[in-house]
Amino acid sequence: MSKYKGKKVLIVGCGTSGIAAAKFLVKQGARVMITDTKQRTELSEPLKELGDLKVEFEFGGHTERSFLGAELIIVSPGINIPNHQLLQVVKQKGTPVTSEIELAVGELEQPLIAITGTNGKSTLTTLIGEMYKSDQKPAFMGGNLGIPLIEYINQGQTGQVAVCELSSYQLEMTEKMVPAVAIFTNIDQDHLDRYGTMENYIAAKKRLLKVCDRNSWVILNYDDPVLQGFANECSGKLIWFTMKDPMKVGGEFAEKFFGAYFDETRNSIIAKVTGKEEIYPLETFKLFGDHNKQNLMAAICAARVMGVSQQGIQSCIGTFKGLAHRLEFCRKKDGVYFFNDSKATNIQSVQASLSAFKRSPVILIAGGKDKNMEFAPLAPLVKSKVKLLILVGEAKEKINRALGDFAETYLVGTFEEAVLVSFQKSRNGDIVLLSPGCSSQDMFRDFEERGDYFKKLVNQL
Ligand code: ADP
């Protein structure tokens, strides 16, 4: 009999993962209530998924009664737990409070490849999933990206492995999960509007390191100073990836190197994770920028230790096209190249995109909703690469104060104006790059709506 049978479960948040958790729990015989601060009319899309499953609802706010009456509470990643008064009350009372991810890993029958970091999670998750596919091995890919992990359980978990993107929000409640592979792409300032300090943000990410055991592979970015520090607290089997040649780093790192690095002279990734050296040429790799080489290295390490063949990986390198809204090429018009990087919602991702353009002058469109970011670290790249800075949205004044002295800068009132000015001011060979460094919710529903609108405007030029 299911341990959830007859249990009163409260799901806080009626998003995709909350709905998928409700489906799972109802099938297990639980008595499920979903509570959300939004009204039913605003939630009609996710609610469709539930069909006629027996679930109770509480819309337009949460009541103390529903929290106190629950025997288990599942909290959606959007909820800020320490600031949530009712959650603090029930926690003190001793009611178990957990997440959809923890619920799912308790049921997962296959190895878990867990991916976190500030940037590159979605690209890396998809890359690894595609490597499995290229090798004719079924794999689930999802989590924070696309399908929630509990939905994979609902659908009968038919893959060989679950490749799962995990945001810091999802990791906050992680306790039971023991990943077969844990990957950390990088750590830089992000979500400071929720965490307040970098320490708190890093602590949330570090939850994934803490749950690894001695059999877990832990894949870390050697080029990231914070992640170098993670190595000291790692109880798993450590694998590095780096843009540096380990022989040039020298010492013990070179002698005992286990992982992957980029060999510039051979334009190849060299991987040492199987007992012999493997070479992955990059002539056919379509993604721009060193950051995507880093993503690829991490993916190769994970896929190889999990038994994906070298041929499967090499074939994926040639076919992988990247994801929409991540340094996505849109169009060439009158000699000007337009790129949509709407998913760049923090400083590091803007740095990565600007660095990807080695020679051409860049017209950068930035701005949006500020996440309490410090924009000054962008100054050197703006100075060296950006011909014109076009600022839009809520954060435009703040960005102007931090960066306006390093390039010719325009503050515009609308997104349409931003695109129009970018084109009017461009010349043959220029790059127009939308890489906002901010989230989108000041003007759009999400980064996808922003990127799609940018592409539409660009295509109308
Ligand atoms: P995430 O899921 O972590 O948000 P994405 O793959 O969706 O990561 O990419 C988000 C943004 O970060 C995009 O602008 C993309 O170009 C950039 N990016 C992708 N990989 C990296 C990386 N390894 N380092 C820095 N920036 C990256």
User: Can you give the CATH number for the domain in which 349 is found?
Assistant: 3.90.190.20
In-domain check, residue 145: yes
pLDDT tens digits for 386-416? 999 999 999 999 999 999 999 999 999 999 9
In-domain check, residue 3: no
SS3 77: coil
162 forms beta bridges with: 112, 140
Looking at the fold, whether 348 and 409 belong to one and the same domain comes out as yes
Kindly state the tokens that stand for 19.
């709905």
Looking at the fold, whether 123 and 261 belong to one and the same domain comes out as yes
In-domain check, residue 2: no
Q: Is 341 in the pocket of ligand 1 (CB under 6 A)?
A: yes
Share the mean pLDDT of the chain: 95
Four-residue CA torsion sign, 271, 272, 275, 278: positive
Looking at the fold, whether 257 and 130 belong to one and the same domain comes out as yes
Q: Which of 269, 299, 319 is the last residue of a domain?
A: 319
Q: Averaged over 86-114, what is the pLDDT?
A: 93
Q: Averaged over 65-69, what is the pLDDT?
A: 92
Four-residue CA torsion sign, 306, 310, 315, 320: positive
Looking at the fold, whether 31 and 170 belong to one and the same domain comes out as no
In-domain check, residue 1: no
pTM, rounded to two decimals:
0.95
Q: Which of 287, 319, 351 is the last residue of a domain?
A: 319
d(CA 95, CA 90): 6
- In testing the pocket of ligand 1, which one of 115, 116, 118, 119 has its CB within 8 Å of the most ligand atoms? 119
Looking at the fold, whether 363 and 308 belong to one and the same domain comes out as no
Structural domain span for residue 43: 8-95
Looking at the fold, whether 293 and 376 belong to one and the same domain comes out as no
Looking at the fold, whether 285 and 334 belong to one and the same domain comes out as no
CATH of the domain at 198: 3.40.1190.10
- If pLDDT is split at 50, 70 and 90, which confidence band does 103 have? very high
Q: Is 344 in the pocket of ligand 1 (CB under 6 A)?
A: yes
CA of 295 to the centre of ligand 1 (A): 9
Do 184 and 294 contact (CB within 8 A), yes or no? no
Give burial (CB, 10 Å; 0-12/13-18/19+) of 251.
Answer: exposed
Could you list the beta-strand ranges (E) of 208-327.
217-221, 237-242, 259-263, 268-272, 278-281
In-domain check, residue 15: yes
Looking at the fold, whether 51 and 124 belong to one and the same domain comes out as no
Do 34 and 15 contact (CB within 8 A), yes or no? no
Looking at the fold, whether 312 and 448 belong to one and the same domain comes out as no
**Which residue's CA is the closest to the ligand 1 atom numbered 21?**
120
In-domain check, residue 89: yes
Q: Which of 270, 294, 319 is the last residue of a domain?
A: 319
d(CA 340, CA 452): 9
pLDDT of residue 149: 97
**Which residue's CA is the closest to the ligand 1 atom numbered 24?**
291
In-domain check, residue 78: yes
In-domain check, residue 12: yes
Looking at the fold, whether 249 and 357 belong to one and the same domain comes out as no
d(CA 349, CA 119): 7
pLDDT of residue 47: 85
Looking at the fold, whether 168 and 244 belong to one and the same domain comes out as yes
- If pLDDT is split at 50, 70 and 90, which confidence band does 50 have? confident
d(CA 230, CA 252): 17
d(CA 280, CA 320): 14
Taking each helix axis from N to C terminus, what angle separates 310-319 and 290-305, rounded to the nearest 10 degrees? 150
Looking at the fold, whether 219 and 289 belong to one and the same domain comes out as yes
Kindly state the tokens that stand for 399.
């960005």
Give me the number of domains the chain comprises.
3
